[in-house]
Chain A
């Protein structure tokens, strides 16, 4: 924490807050995909697949922080990866950052995937939805369970992390057939699993939910919504979810971002 006078200690005692973290490495992928690497043993050891982080560039012209799920965790070095695609002004300014620059980071936030649940696991990733599974795969491998990843993208060029994924059971799909099987991930779903964890475009998540609707498989989806605060105070990221009280608008940042598929209400 910064500041050393009494009042600033009072402000932050036992409390979680934005922390300036230095970028220790940067990787530029294809098609506007980037990875930034941060050194933080505390965050690296507390982040779980499905958690998210709010990130802000104090020098950027933008005001609000942006939510990101983290990518790989390097526990020995205390380094975590932030993997993102440039989609607007916030991510644009992040992509211009260099090694040695700092960003303000708040986390871990939200509820992670319940990886500890027993049974055969299928991970489903669409496009940049691969991000949370980069930390889930090593955990599942260590637990010696029956698991696999189904990973789809538009084309081979955007099917990223393949060298890292070579150590894990992965089947690939591309829309144009340029790598793996041709077609959508939702065409490759298996009934022979007990647990499904999925992250990717909204349409993909909805089709995953529909596929397993009447099967005993437990399905968990990581949802996205435009976010204001990331901390539960603004109610900006709410969406329709079935709760004990009926269908309610529920915050993706606080009650999610991981939801049981059977609780999610799909519009239209």
Chain B
């Protein structure tokens, strides 16, 4: 049996398939479709201190080889999350990550402070990059100082791993990753969605009510791979790579580029059983590459020069 596990700090993930925030609900929605215990990990929808209604519909639209979404971080807020969702997760084993969101550093801190005493939480993914709230898509992870500021506020508040989720729109994603490392992050996830626009020609209105949305799916995979590789070259932190992974082959390509594990998002929206299919495909493919573990493959890209 191949070893598919990987670690972020002291936390061990049994396999590389982690479900991406905002593409898998709170988890219980997927229970009718997959055995959640077979996942490598799970990251919740973004949790704000207070409940949020999100954007008006339409919120989703299909684009060439991908999709555009502007959900707007609809969510039940940290209190209901703790009372209603965390007990559900006590029935399952995989590492559970809380995606922490906020409009200011204090918001992020309130969520971590409120939830940190709960034993079922394994790590935090700090959402420094959601493009779908009404800020024209601007996000803290465009700027090293803002990235550092939020992460250094959170670092003393918890012993659990902090993973910074980064935007593809920073001038240099690798410099943002370096800033995250300096501020005490234990890992980085990349990439979040690209800002996109869809136009309805007849009405000359944007298709999404929010105007802009985030582009995800196979269309963004080459850009995601490039950024994973650049960040892998620059920092020593483990990377959760994502962007358009729909097959086991895609998954292993991210590992070769330097990712420790991956996140599956759009593929789960297309088919709730896709994450486990991708895991099976990757585990079947790995021995044919002459590897017994993901570690042997990690960062093994061999550029020509």
Contacts and interface: CB of A to CB of B under 8 A. Distances in A.
A64 B269 contact: yes
Contacts of A215: none
Contacts of B62: 62-64, 89-90
A228 B53 contact: no
Most buried by B among A13, A16, A17, A89: A17
A10 B38 CA distance: 9
B267 to A, nearest CB: 9
Contacts of A18: 271, 273
Nearest to A252: B57
Interface string A87-128: 001100000000000001010000000000000000000000
A67 B75 CA distance: 24
Contact of B34 (A7, A11, A65, A226): A11
B269 A233 contact: yes
Contacts of A249: 53-54, 74
B270 A236 contact: no
Contact of A233 (B24, B61, B67): B24
B217 interface: yes
A179 interface: no
B33 interface: yes
A15 B35 contact: yes
Given A11-B273, A64-B62, A64-B270, A234 B69 contact: yes
A178 to B, nearest CB: 27
A191 B280 CA distance: 58
Given A229-B272, A249-B53, A236 B35 contact: no
A237 B29 contact: no
Given A18-B273, A64-B270, A226 B25 contact: no
A263 B174 CA distance: 49
Contact of B54 (A10, A104, A238): A238
A17 B35 CA distance: 12
A227 B45 CA distance: 18
Interface string B69-97: 10100100000000000000000000000
Given A10-B38, A228-B60, A235 B25 contact: yes
A229 B54 contact: no
A56 B272 CA distance: 13
B23 A234 contact: yes
Contacts of A236: 57, 59-60, 69, 71, 269
Interface string B256-289: 0000000000101111110011001001000000
B293 to A, nearest CB: 18
Contact of B280 (A11, A89, A106, A233): A11
A154 interface: no
A239 interface: yes
B295 interface: no
A254 interface: yes
Contacts of A62: 62
Interface string A223-247: 0011111011111111100000000
Nearest to B30: A233
B23 A233 contact: yes
A152 B280 CA distance: 50
Given A233-B268, A236-B59, A254 B280 contact: no
Nearest to B80: A245
A231 B280 contact: no
A184 B32 CA distance: 41
28 contacts: A10-B35, A10-B38, A15-B33, A15-B34, A17-B273, A56-B270, A56-B271, A63-B66, A63-B67, A63-B217, A63-B270, A64-B67, A90-B62, A226-B61, A228-B60, A232-B25, A233-B30, A233-B269, A233-B272, A234-B25, A235-B54, A236-B57, A236-B69, A236-B71, A236-B269, A238-B57, A238-B74, A249-B53
Interface of A: 7-8, 10-13, 15-18, 56, 62-65, 89-90, 104, 106, 225-229, 231-239, 248-249, 254, 267
Interface of B: 22-25, 29-30, 32-35, 38, 45, 53-54, 56-62, 65-67, 69, 71, 74, 217-218, 266, 268-273, 276-277, 280, 283
In the A-B complex, the 4 residue pairs with the smallest Cβ-Cβ separation, listed nearest first, are A236-B60, A232-B29, A228-B60, A233-B25
